[in-house]
Structure 1
Amino acid sequence: MEPKVFHPFVLFFVIMGFSGCANLNTDLSIPEKPLPDSFNDKQVSTAVASINWRDYFADPLLLKLLDTAVGNNLDLQMALQRIETSRSSVKLANAAMLPQVSLNVGGGVRKFGLYTMDGAGNATTEIRPGQIVPENLPDMFIGLQSSWEVDVWGKLESQRKAAVSNYLSSIEATHFVISNLVTDVAIYYNELLALDNELDIVRQTIQKQQEALEIIQIQKEAGRANLLAVQQFNAQLLDSQVLEKTLLQQISERENNINFLLGRYPQPIERTKTEFFDALPKEVLAGIPSQLLINRPDVRAAEHQVEASKFDLQAAKAAFYPNFNITASLGFQAFNPEFLFTSPASLAYSLAGTLVAPIINMKSLEAAFNTAQANQLSAMYNYQKSILNAYVEVANQLSNIKSLQQMSALKKQQSEVLKQSVEAANELYKSARASYLEVLIAQQSALQSNLQLINVTKQQRLATITLYKALGGGWK
């Protein structure tokens, strides 16, 4: 008669488990935004992202800094530990699919009330002839105990796959940290070179302004210039000296920024400022937009997060199904230690299977499922955002590089013209055919033009570095 009692309960649990899953949708999607075929109507066949950063950057001093940064940067070290955390999560997910076996050594004592079934039975039961069950009954056990959740519905497998996807995402996230680190160090280094060259220009200008001030002072003493001219030249000199101090402060800050990325306390940064104009970064070939999906580590990390969210959603759905657990034990059990191993009668074992279906906590399972759905949609939108962001970054830098090339050519012409104008103004002033104001204006214009030329050159270098990162380079 027992099967007639057992089977209806099994059927009831199964029906209850499946009834909660009738309206659970795991096939989610969002509108896709296809990538354009080219960047700014330009399509080339090769991408620079595949070039190792040690080959991309030509300055050996910069390469030395980058090697130190990759070895010591604290953000990178934390990212590496996140990989270890994800790897451990994969191991835990794998272990959850296997039977759990443990060694159990325990003991205790029990006393049943006399007017109970156990107490009355023990009082009249002989273990051996003339030896009844003790009133205070010890219970000692040593052996193996095991439990295993049979993954009938694939919940544990989905959790394992989600852990693997999160692990892969953490690796790509670390690659993105390396890419940002290499880019940041290279940017700060080139800004430092630009500041060095600006400081040289300012100091050269200060020297010329001091010479001009000495000349105007002599002319004032000779009656050929007035006090106002002396004051104007002196004010211009003081303004340049303030600019010199400002540049020195900015140089100190850039050095500290680099040292921070290198994971060390402030110290001088070895560099060669003459490399600023001679060793421009290599020409960048942007490639086709679809290569961003292959080269950009942040895009690949977002893709793995989408995969992880899909498996999390499948696991959340499987939680509505009944769980099938198997428990077993094998060992020795006795009330007296001398019988624990000496008597075959002390051998004890058990084997049981249970089918557990959620009933009361269905609302919490529905909430967990809805959360998993929202997480998957969020991951999908984040993936689309990362692709859009990557495309915009590349398109902006390609346009920026083109504009900066045109600006650089014009600034070089302007700098040469203003250099000649300073020489002409000085000669004309000496022959009294130009005023001191014309000399001041020529000097100030030349200074600003030279500083702007350095700034444009810096922006060219930074745009090339930023494009290298935007295309997915800098982590290999």
Structure 2
Amino acid sequence: MFKQKIYLGLSLAGFCVALVSCNIPKEIQKTENKQTPGSYGSNSADTLNSGKIRWKTFFTDPNLNNLIDTALTRNQELQITLQELEIAKSEIRLKQGQLLPSVGVRAGVGLEKVGRYTSQGAGDASTEITPGREMPDPLPDYLLGVYGNWEVDVWHKLHNAKKAAVSRYLSSVEGKNFVVTNLVAEIANSYYELLALDNQLAIVKQNIELQNNALEVVKAQKEASRVTELAVRKFSAEVLNTQSLQFNIQQQITETENKINFLLGRFPQPIVRSSTNFNDLVPSEIHAGVPSQLLANRPDVKQAELALAAAKLDVKAARAEFYPSLGISASIGLQAFDPGYLVKFPESMLYSLAGELVAPLINRNGIKAEYTKANAEQIQAVYNYERTILNAYVEVANQMANISNSQKSYDLKTKQVSELTQSIDISNDLFRAARADYLEVLMTQRDALEAKLELIETKKQQMNAMVNIYQALGGGWN
């Protein structure tokens, strides 16, 4: 008889599974494209990769390294990202807990009064606990027990949800690494910008001194009636223009210092930096490696890959919702209307064991909507992963070209500055000998100043290109 009940239960369970399985949508998996070109344009496929170098080794300026160290401990955006990691960890613990049985302890005290002319009231009135002792009325109730519920993960719905949570945590870790690479690169670029502004300010101050000397010469020429008041006014106006430029650069220095302080999570204060000639800086040698290394080096690519893995697991978990869920519940404890009877065993003992199979039958629209959403998010994650790989390749290719072109531009600018610097002395000599107009002197000084400032700007572009390609190759987070 007992076996027949078991067979009947299994038959009903099989019928439920077959019934709900008739209209389950097929699982759709979109395969991502991980293929990358063999090299960056015409560059050779060198497997050496600068992105694997630790930032403390890559950047040789101790002042810059101290700034980065401070930022990694105090930057607010990074601290916010670290809290997101804690949130992702909690999600893993939540999903892990759903795999285990839920067990609790129950203790209760109650009082019940039923009508005398009811089946329970009539039964209690005619029942004696011991000879001569009737059931109490009203009836107390004392309970102490342990109960548990467990959903058996037959279709791996809960396991896939847990794996998805783990993938999202690992994706958050890579997201944190990506924030670090951006932070390191932003501080380095701002630091080199600060050095460039310092050198531009020094050049402007030197030029003001030269212009003042030229102004005194023009004034003497005017006293000798060799030039007019117009020449004096022109030279004086040029000095004032350059002095105005000095204060513009000083304002940029202040803003750049404050930007670095903000990245370091502190209030404005002076930034300790190198005082060497900015033009003497030499960018670190860069090895781009091969494009396929971006898949393992760049945190944003790994983040997108792990997010895609989580999205695929979400589809499996959502699809498992169409199948019946098997739940097991059990309880064991002691119950009596008198506390003294709780210790009388086994009369006061209670226990239960039940299993239930719950399957969605009619209202499946919600489950279908959740599955459709998970599937769309999976396809979205595929495109995001492919876009991230493409963006990584383009960034490296752009910076490789930037390094080459900025070096060529710097070489030409250096020659231009040399020529114009010599032209200043020549124009001054010619002016004193009345063989050149004062406008030629002014234009020569102005062109030389602009060329020197542009030379500093080009050197800054070189240093920024070095930082940016290091970041693009996946460097800076380790």
Tell me the TM-score range normalised by the shorter chain. over 0.9
Q: CA RMSD in A?
A: 1.7
Give the Å deviation of 1:117: 3.4
8 Å contact kept, 2:30–2:382: no
Percentage identity across paired residues of the two chains: 47
**In structure 2, how many angstroms separate the alpha carbons of the residues matched to 1:117 and 1:213?**
120
Name the SS of the counterpart of 2:40 in structure 1.
coil
Distance 1:275 1:382, change over 3 A: farther
Give the Å deviation of 1:269: 0.1
Name the SS of the counterpart of 1:345 in structure 2.
coil
The answer to which of 206-215 and 241-250 deviates more is 206-215
The answer to which of 40-49 and 337-346 deviates more is 337-346
**In structure 2, how many angstroms separate the alpha carbons of the residues matched to 1:357 and 1:136?**
42
Distance 1:115 1:11, change over 3 A: farther
Question: In structure 2, what is the equivalent of residue 15 of structure 1?
Answer: 18
The answer to which of 376-385 and 96-105 deviates more is 96-105
Question: In structure 2, what is the equivalent of residue 83 of structure 1?
Answer: 85
Give the Å deviation of 1:125: 2.6
Among residues 175, 178, 195, which one is paired with 2:177 in the alignment? 175
Question: In structure 2, what is the equivalent of residue 40 of structure 1?
Answer: 41
- After superposition, residues 328-339 of structure 1 pair within 5 angstroms as 328-339=330-341
Give the Å deviation of 1:212: 1.3
8 Å contact kept, 2:181–2:476: yes
Q: How far does the alpha carbon of each residue in 1:408-438 deviate from its partner, in whole angstroms, 9 at most, with x for none?
A: 1100000000000011101111111111100
- After superposition, residues 116-155 of structure 1 pair within 5 angstroms as 116-155=118-157
Give the Å deviation of 1:112: 3.1
Question: In structure 2, what is the equivalent of residue 457 of structure 1?
Answer: 459
Among residues 387, 390, 393, which one is paired with 2:389 in the alignment? 387
8 Å contact kept, 1:328–1:352: yes
**In structure 1, how many angstroms separate the alpha carbons of the residues matched to 2:231 and 2:129?**
123
Distance 1:347 1:275, change over 3 A: farther
Give the Å deviation of 1:128: 2.8
The answer to which of 49-58 and 217-226 deviates more is 217-226
| Structure 2: stretches of 5+ with no match in the other structure | none
Distance 1:304 1:338, change over 3 A: same
Q: How far does the alpha carbon of each residue in 1:106-164 deviate from its partner, in whole angstroms, 9 at most, with x for none?
A: 22223334444333333323333333333322222112111111111100100010011
- After superposition, residues 227-238 of structure 1 pair within 5 angstroms as 227-238=229-240
Give the Å deviation of 1:244: 0.7
Give the Å deviation of 1:228: 1.1
Distance 1:402 1:210, change over 3 A: same
Question: In structure 2, what is the equivalent of residue 184 of structure 1?
Answer: 186
Question: In structure 1, what is the equivalent of residue 319 of structure 2?
Answer: 317
Question: In structure 2, what is the equivalent of residue 55 of structure 1?
Answer: 57
Give the Å deviation of 1:33: 6.5
TM-score using structure 1 length? 0.96
Q: How far does the alpha carbon of each residue in 1:213-259 deviate from its partner, in whole angstroms, 9 at most, with x for none?
A: 12212222332221111111111111111111111110001101101
8 Å contact kept, 1:20–1:362: no
The answer to which of 69-78 and 389-398 deviates more is 69-78
**In structure 2, how many angstroms separate the alpha carbons of the residues matched to 1:115 and 1:7?**
43
Q: How far does the alpha carbon of each residue in 1:315-344 deviate from its partner, in whole angstroms, 9 at most, with x for none?
A: 001111111111111221112222223453
**In structure 2, how many angstroms separate the alpha carbons of the residues matched to 1:235 and 1:361?**
84
Name the SS of the counterpart of 1:344 in structure 2.
coil
**What is the count of residue pairs matched by the alignment?**
474
| Structure 1: stretches of 5+ with no match in the other structure | none
